[in-house]
Amino acid sequence: MRPVSAQPDAGAPALSRFVTDDLGEVREWLDRVYGSRLLMGRIREGTARLAVSAADAGPLRTTDLTLPGTMTCRNRDIETVRAGLVLSGTVTIEDAQGVHRYGPGDALMATFPGDDLVSRAENLRIRTVTLPVDLLADVAGTPHNGSAWPPRLLSRSPHGPAASRMIADALALTDALLSGPAATHPLVVGNAARLLAAGILAAFPTTLTVREEARADHVDATPAVLRLAVAHIEAHYADPDLSLADIAAAACATPRAVQYAFRRHHGTTPMGYVRRVRLAAAHADLLAADPAAGATVSAIAARWGFYHLGRFSAFYRRVYGRSPRDTLST
């Protein structure tokens, strides 16, 4: 194995890369990183190589993986969610639902908690993102002890070509984020992980997106619930892991009831309200900062989880009627 790795400063993503043409090392890597047991592999020694580039940041892990030749693997008892986008080659997955074949441009759910599957890769290059299932549940607003727990995957394939493109766009945006200076900010990484989780929930049908007891949630969307939720947000908005599930627990209500309450009384979602509070914090920092001392709009925006400067500037202008650059320079 020929590892090439770079350990950045504390707080930055951990980046690593290695290549090998040894089948034993391929077997060890697949088992250690993917939880895959190699059943059968065929590589011409010295002519093809497993190559992987990985980035670990907070709760998410992204990989660009090239599997040479033909590989057949078994996955079972996986605890994380791993979505993928095929760049070249093919992968065929056999599970309890049937046989699924994916080629270039296709998104797929590579593994999901509770899976028992066999996959066959042919000269495969695939981009993957791995997230904890708890994060998907938090983004979906699904209690970990509710009727939808433990969650189940309803289809390994996404809803359609548009869903595959959405996964591709989310992966590209995450790659750009993790390779830039904003990746050192926990709020930025947390928001990126939630963006990916939301994309996966929108692209793939799971029991996490099945909504039950909507009528009771409407009844529970009271002003008292809203007050508790707002108080929790205003006390914890700087927490990069603040989630809908946390807010609902603090409000002693279901996530759906909290969503209804915010929509009814504030015209936004709970996480949209969090975004407003963080924008106000960024505004205060812009007013207090000194550009002569090196303060920049991009650094302040990233500090509060806004890693796309153009969107931050547009959002800021809508709320404050001027650009963040003008605020910083006054």
Least reliable range by pLDDT among 22-31, 159-168, 266-275, 296-305:
22-31
Residue entry with tokens 């993917």: 34
* CA 117 to centroid of chain Cα atoms: 23
Specify the amino acid at residue 198.
A
pLDDT of residue 132: 92
Q: How confident is the model at residue 2 (pLDDT cuts 50, 70, 90)?
A: very low
What's the predicted TM-score (pTM) here?
0.63
DSSP-based three-state secondary structure for 49: coil
CATH, range 213-329? 1.10.10.60
Task: Give, as one character, the DSSP assignment of residue 293.
Answer: G
Instruction: Please report the sign of the dihedral spanned by the C-alpha atoms of residue 314, residue 318, residue 321, residue 324.
Output: negative
Beta strand ranges found along 7-106 (DSSP E): 14-20, 36-42, 50-57, 60-76, 80-95, 98-102
Q: How confident is the model at residue 315 (pLDDT cuts 50, 70, 90)?
A: very high
> Where exactly are the structural domains of the chain?
2-202, 213-329
CA atoms within 13 A on the CB side of 154: 14
- Tens digit of each residue's pLDDT (9 = 90 or more) over 168-220: 998 888 888 887 787 788 888 888 898 899 889 888 888 887 554 444 455 56
Burial of 114 (C-beta count, 10 Å sphere; 0-12/13-18/19+): middle
Topology of the domain covering 2-202: Jelly Rolls (2.60.120)
Answer whether 2-202 and 213-329 agree in fold: no
